[in-house]
Amino acid sequence: MGVELQHPMRPELTVDEAARGRFVSGIRAFILNDLATDLRTAYDDRAAPAFARETGRPPETSNEAHQALRGDPAFNIYSAMRVQAQKMVWNAAGSVVERDIGRMDEEAAKVANRPGDVVLNPGMEIPRNVDAIEVHLMPGSYTRGGNSLEAGAVYDQGLAVFSMGLMGANLDDIGLSMAAYASGKYPEFKPDRILDTGCTIGHNTLPWKQTYPDAHVDAIDAAAGGLNYASARAKMQGQEVYFRQMSADALDYEDDSFDLVFSSMFLHELSKKTRAEAFKEAYRVLKPGGLLLHMELPPNDQMNAFDGFYLDWDSWYNSEPFYKGYRDEDPAKLCASGGFENDDYFQFVVPSIGIYGAEAVREAIANENANAVDSETTGRLAEGIMWFGFGAWKR
């Protein structure tokens, strides 16, 4: 897989910019494969035994694995490299967008929105996690450039470099994998109305329209600029999706409005309070018989201490303040607290359809043990990648 975007809304890269993007992706691949292996070896050979000598037992939690590793040279190098590589991702994307944004604006204007395609809410109070934190070290966060296309363009180009080609050329692998799982697992389920919450630039929204072409698909986000970009991006790909500026904890929809409420990589960016409200809102807007489906990071209590910390690293060093708090929560309890019945909770692990192919997704659907988290692959951006999904049906 290449690391360059393929959809028509993409920035046009100079040769040098393309090379810079590949270089940064390559550095990330080196860190997440080679240096991560060194980190694991340092943990097994030095850090965990030293922790055990001191406490009389091995590390049992993500925090204890962190405590054991702090100060270890392999950990210091891994962490320093990852932080600097993360900054390089956004710097590389930012400079491309600064140079090309005029042309992108002109292209977007050619597919001008029809009334109702994007509905912004200028009076809305923007949640602090969206604009007051430079989340994952992203300069200017999601509100960079206000309502302009800038934040969306930087996110799109940055995610392409960040994901090293593992999320597909249109960055839609999560949506494609989840939609393939849902449509294969529940063939009788034909949603008429679908809602994606926290859609950013709609990259993982589009697969739902592709999978259920007759459905009306809405996607919401709190950041206006990303929605403007998302709409142009969708239109240029010939996809009809309606984008709305809204907060997931106060949805401006009637009760029983949707057959499917989806999100991906969203819940871990919400405060605990907002997250709890978002589950209640999802329950409220789902029709009876509707499906809640979230793709997220796997929970800590389903992973060993090292692998739990490996993911929680972002909370400590990548400006993701709610990441660990989210991963410490139990997704089944989150669903139940939103109003879903305990018995209706389900979870699964689906192989990346882009890497493993549709047959592997079908095998996961057929495999009764496909709900088990494999610490070394699930949720990790590595050569083989598995996505964690969970949800519940509304009675």
Ligand X SMILES: C[S@@+](CC[C@H](N)C(=O)[O-])C[C@H]1O[C@@H](n2cnc3c(N)ncnc32)[C@H](O)[C@@H]1O
Would you tell me which residues interact with ligand X (CB under 6 A)?
127, 129-130, 142, 174, 198-200, 204, 220-223, 226, 247-249, 264-266, 269-270, 274
Of residues 326 and 345, the one with the C-beta less far from ligand X: 326
104 versus 282: smaller Cβ distance to ligand X: 282
CB of 223 to ligand X, least distance (A): 4
Buried b (16+ CB within 10 A) or exposed e, 193-228: bbbbbbbbbbbbbbbbbebbeebbbbbbbbbbbbbb
Residue closer to ligand X (CB basis): 68 or 160? 160
Q: CB of residue 77 vs ligand X: minimum separation in angstroms? A: 27
Half-sphere exposure of 155 (CA within 13 A, CB side): 28
Write out the two tokens for 89.
């991702």
- Minimum CB separation from ligand X for residue 130, in Å? 4
Q: How far is the CB of 15 from ligand X (least distance, A)?
A: 28
State the amino acid at position 382 in one-letter form. A
Token output for 224:
């206006």
Name which of 132 and 366 has its Cβ closer to ligand X: 132
Residue among 81 and 265 whose Cβ is closer to ligand X: 265
Q: Work out the angle between the directed axes of helices 15-29 and 150-162 (0-180°, nearest 10).
A: 50
Nearest-approach distance from CB 387 to ligand X, in angstroms: 10
Strands 258-264 vs 286-296: parallel, antiparallel or unpaired: parallel
The minimum distance between CB 219 and ligand X, in angstroms, equals 9
Task: Give the CA radius of gyration of the chain.
Answer: 21
Q: Measured from the CB atom, is 64 or 315 closer to ligand X?
A: 315
Alpha helix segments (H runs only) across the chain: 15-29, 36-42, 48-55, 62-69, 73-110, 128-131, 150-162, 173-185, 206-211, 224-236, 272-285, 305-317, 323-327, 331-338, 353-356, 358-366
